[in-house]
Structure 1
């Protein structure tokens, strides 16, 4: 007895898997989102992540600018720091004439002069009080460079005192000191004026620091004032 067998049915035609289509769409969305996010991040960094400023070496009387890019908000630096010298001609003259005597080697300590992040306003630190004076010009000429060349004896008394204040970060005392110096025409008189002025200002600063509970800083100022007084006493004894 013969039997007929029906041929096996062919498998249904394969259709695109919905899962594959969804995965491909997700990949394209992810790629587009990543590119868009990268472009947005680049724009943010270019507009808000640029940092620039200036700093001053109190030991060498040198200044320089610095700039770099960072990720905003978290202040994560992402490019190397670029620096460029901006030392005023007056400061160069002071070191050439030995009115300021830099120690051997390159500067180590740098004090902030100014800082700007992105579109924020520029922040001017205390050291800007000195740099502004060193760059002061009148009739196209540097005021303090010319004054120092015209009055080398006065310059020899003034700039060592200014350098000492800069090293101690007491820039706040400089504008008044420089103003007084231009009104005096005798080196001994200027030396005496500087000594008296700093004695008064140190006493005032020490009182303010103690009133604010900053006893450690007040003690440091007292030690500096005592050191200056000893140097002044020894100098007076040598010239008597």
Structure 2
């Protein structure tokens, strides 16, 4: 009986996948075994780094390794005999993994267009940290056709602000005004002079309790600090990164 159970665990109980941390831009694979059907984990999770040179480039250029916070987002999960399940972070990681002629495409692009990279990657980090992976492909597509950094930054600011605003307005309809006000704050970081967004934010704040207003102030201060650091760091034009050995 014990041998049958062991066989079932080894053959049917394997679980593996990958995770991504948008605060440090690290990736890691994981695996463990569980008892099939009941899903009880029977060994500790084993993890190994899978961070590529693209992520290392972004880490170094934006000084993300100095960040102490961690928040692992699911990239993929495989539980036998089911198929792979992709998490939202896969939308970003799949793009970063693309290679052309054996080289990471976005690493090569960043080195070729350093002024555009200084605009793109802080914006990507912002969206990833807020789990807005669905909007990242649009930013990457815009980067491909961009030629001027100033125009590109203006376009990205408008795109991201519009996305946050739409999400905020959806929360207003659900009477979730604290979340809505927080999303309006994110939108205003990218378009600080947008009077319509300011008015919408004010309307949401008017519906908050004093405790919620205090929480909103704390959230805004933290977000403004981290967003500003990202913009100030930018992407170093002198940075070089080697392809990892395969």
TM-score over 0.5 (shorter chain): yes
CA deviation vs aligned residue, 1:152-185 (integer Å, no higher than 9, x gap): 1110110011111111111111001100111011
Alignment partners' CA distance in 2, 1:103 and 1:231 = 32
Say whether 1:133 aligns with 2:95.
Answer: yes
Tell me by how many angstroms 1:211 deviates. Answer: 4.3
- Matched with 1:90 is 54
**Please, which runs of 5 or more residues in structure 2 have no aligned partner?**
195-227, 229-246
Matching residue of 1:66: 30
Matched residues in 2 for 1:213 and 1:54: separation?
35
User: Residue 178 in 1 paired to residue 140 in 2?
Assistant: yes
Contact 2:15 2:33 in 1 (8 A): yes
Report the Cα distance in structure 1 between the residues aligned to 2:176 and 2:82, rounded to whole angstroms: 31
Partner of 2:80: 118
TM-score (norm: length of structure 2): 0.72
TM-score, normalising length: structure 1: 0.74
Matches within 5 A, 1:1-240: 36=1, 38-96=2-60, 98=61, 100-102=62-64, 104=66, 108-211=70-173, 215-230=177-192
Aligned residues: 196
Bigger radius of gyration among the two: 1
Over the aligned positions, Cα root-mean-square deviation in angstroms equals 2.4
Structure 1's unaligned 5+ residue stretches are 1-35, 236-240
- Deviations, residues 65-98 of structure 1 (Å, cap 9, x unaligned): 01011122332211121111111211111223x2
Q: Hey, what's the Cα distance between the residues in 2 that align with 1:39 and 1:197?
A: 58
Q: Is the 8 A contact 1:57 1:107 kept in 2?
A: no
Deviations 1:119-172 (A, max 9, x none): 111110110011011111122221100000001111011001111111111111
